Amino acid sequence: MTDIRIAVAGAGGRMGRALVQAVTEADGVVLGAATERAGSSLLGTDAGELAGVGALGVTLVAELATVLDDFDVLIDFTAPAATLAHLELCRGAGKRMVIGTTGFDEAGRAAIAAAAESIGIVFAPNMSVGVNLTFKLLDIAARVLGDEVDIEIIEAHHRHKVDAPSGTALRMGEVVAEALGRDLDEVAVYGREGHTGARERRTIGFETIRAGDVVGEHSVWFAAEGERVEIAHKASSRMTFASGAVRAAGWIGARARGQFDMQDVLGLRDY
């Protein structure tokens, strides 16, 4: 079987470099192309050298359009506007995508869903096995503990992160809201300040910490009178996200169209 050719968008970024490394460490995939933002000082650099894995003979280019013949699946961990521009190019060229970017608005999410009618897309706010298992544990905890507990979602990330709450925290909120038959848009409370009044049971609270070099930590509290369950995940290396994304790229390589997430890739959907 021939190797799946991967393109990494934003290959000079924190995740981009980890993704290039993960591609070199995985079987059945090879780096075909790498991009960076137009005007970046990194353009022309070898993607492997940038990632610290030695030269790969793939240099960073500014325009994905110029390397469309060099890859089968694009892995994109950049920013919403960049990902949506890449989405249009991939849709036009029939290229599959793995999207890890977070912070999309409703229109952005709708654009991804529409493109998935033509191409295969894995779109997930967190590609780690541990977090995707955590989603399952949260579903169980919410169903068991029900309306007897207060639910709070606390997340911490490095000081460079630009969106809040994290995509993972929001997905955790969706999981528990869905398990409890609540609409997250109606019950979410994003931070508190001043005279807030007593807490309403049905609300789901989000607290955000941005500090230092924290890779990514999420903790969900189910707090009752007399006891509290905490379900937590801590990432200590970006390679956990990167290797998950490369696994997703191999998986989507066999699917022509449709939108999927890591629950599908990991076979967790029906657990």
Ligand X SMILES: NC(=O)C1=CN([C@@H]2O[C@H](COP(=O)(O)OP(=O)(O)OC[C@H]3O[C@@H](n4cnc5c(N)ncnc54)[C@H](OP(=O)(O)O)[C@@H]3O)[C@@H](O)[C@H]2O)C=CC1
Q: Scanning residues 205 to 224, which ones bind ligand LZUJQKHR (CB under 6 A)?
A: 216
Minimum Å gap between C-beta 216 and ligand LZUJQKHR is 3
Give the active site residues: 157, 161
Minimum Å gap between C-beta 100 and ligand X is 3
Sketch the per residue contact string, 130 through 169, with ligand X: x for CB under 6 A, - otherwise: -------------------------------------x--
The DSSP code for 46 is B
Dihedral of alpha carbons 123, 126, 128, 130, sign: negative
How is the beta sheet containing 73-76 ordered, strand by strand? Answer: 60-61, 29-35, 4-9, 73-76, 96-99, 120-123, 258-260
Dihedral of alpha carbons 112, 168, 23, 42, sign: positive
| Beta-carbon-side half-sphere exposure of residue 121 (alpha carbons within 13 Å) | 27
| Beta-carbon-side half-sphere exposure of residue 67 (alpha carbons within 13 Å) | 24
Identify which of residues 4 and 112 has a Cβ nearer to ligand LZUJQKHR in the complex.
112
CA–CA separation, 205 and 173 (whole Å): 9
Sketch the per residue contact string, 113 through 132, with ligand LZUJQKHR: x for CB under 6 A, - otherwise: ------------xx------
Q: Give the DSSP letter string of 215-233.
A: -EEEEEEEE-SS-EEEEEE
CA–CA separation, 80 and 235 (whole Å): 23
Stretch that binds ligand LZUJQKHR, among 67-75, 83-91, 159-167, 247-255 (CB under 6 A): 159-167
Total residues in contact with ligand LZUJQKHR, by rule CB under 6 A: 9
CA–CA separation, 156 and 159 (whole Å): 9
Stretch that binds ligand X, among 4-12, 50-58, 105-113, 191-199 (CB under 6 A): 4-12
210 is in an annotated binding site: no
Q: Which residues have C-beta within 8 Å of that of residue 24, sequence separation ≥ 6?
A: 31, 48, 51, 53, 56
Asked if residue 36 binds ligand X (CB under 6 A), the reply is: yes
CA–CA separation, 95 and 74 (whole Å): 7
The only residue of 21, 102, 134, 259 in contact with ligand X, by rule CB under 6 A:
102
Q: Scanning residues 70 to 109, which ones bind ligand LZUJQKHR (CB under 6 A)?
A: 102
172 is in an annotated binding site: no
Minimum Å gap between C-beta 170 and ligand X is 11
Stretch that binds ligand X, among 26-34, 72-80, 171-179, 184-192 (CB under 6 A): 72-80
Query: Using alpha carbons only, what angle is made at residue 64 by residues 35 and 11, rounded to the nearest 5 degrees?
Result: 15
Q: Residue positions in the annotated binding site for NAD(+)?
A: 10-15, 36, 100-102, 124-127
Residues that bind ligand X (CB under 6 A): 9-10, 12-16, 35-37, 40, 77-79, 82, 100-103, 124-127, 167, 241
Residues that bind ligand LZUJQKHR (CB under 6 A): 102, 125-126, 157, 161, 166-168, 216
